[in-house]
Amino acid sequence: MIRVIIDKLGSGHSDIFLKIDAMPDYSATADSYYLFDFLEISDSDIEELNLKEGEALKYGTIELLQYWVERIRKIAKGQQTFIPFDLWDEYVGGLLLKRTKLGFRTKRVYTDKIQGYSIGKSNLDKQIADNSVHFIEEEQTEWLIDEDALFNGLDWSIKELTNKN
């Protein structure tokens, strides 16, 4: 299962957590600094939503998770796709998921060929292709995650973020 959690007291740095609940357990932290740029959501878009204080990050994280779900659902058996999570000045990191008959083979990867400030959801695949990106494994670990477990974890994350706590 893959889940995403927000540090409610975060400041835009190290405030989004990725948790992989498979053997071995894994967690990572990322900044939300470039999140809205990646999602191609402008400040005026946020203002029009009339979100309460602290709700913008939840909104952006839900949008990211929905983007992930859409990308993952499009993966054909034997194919793989990159799901961005870490959007830093120096590099972009995330998960490389390959669909198999047993679920998704999942690796934690990164590349310094593209940076968080230079990509958006509409040009991610083009940037990967144009820069001849070959992802570097961050961990030697690989997880095989059942399809139902994967989507259940992402759905759980979206529901948790939707709650008005």
At 10 the pLDDT is 59
Q: Range of 52's domain?
A: 2-162
Query: How do 136-145 and 26-30 pair as beta strands?
Result: unpaired
Query: How do 136-145 and 92-100 pair as beta strands?
Result: unpaired
Query: Cis omega before residue 24 (within 30°)?
Result: yes
Q: Are 92 and 31 in contact (CB under 8 A)?
A: no
Q: How do residues 44-62 score in pLDDT, each as one tens digit?
A: 998 898 887 678 889 999 9
At 79 the pLDDT is 97
pLDDT < 50: residue spans in the chain: none
Q: In 3D, which of 162, 149, 104, 124 has the Cα closest to residue 40?
A: 124
Q: What is the CATH number of the domain that holds 111?
A: 3.30.2450
DSSP secondary structure of the chain: -EEEEE-TT--SSS-EEEEE-SSSPEEEEE--TTHHHHHT--HHHHHHHTPPTTHHHHHHHHHHHHHHHHHHHTPPTT-EEEEEEEE-SS-EEEEEEEEETTEEEEEEEEESSS-GGG--TTTHHHHHHHTT--PEEEEEEEEEE-HHHHHHHHHHHHHHHHS--
Distance separating alpha carbons of residues 110 and 36, to the nearest angstrom: 20
How many distinct structural domains can be found in the chain? 1
Global pTM?
0.92
Q: How do residues 115-126 score in pLDDT, each as one tens digit?
A: 999 999 999 999
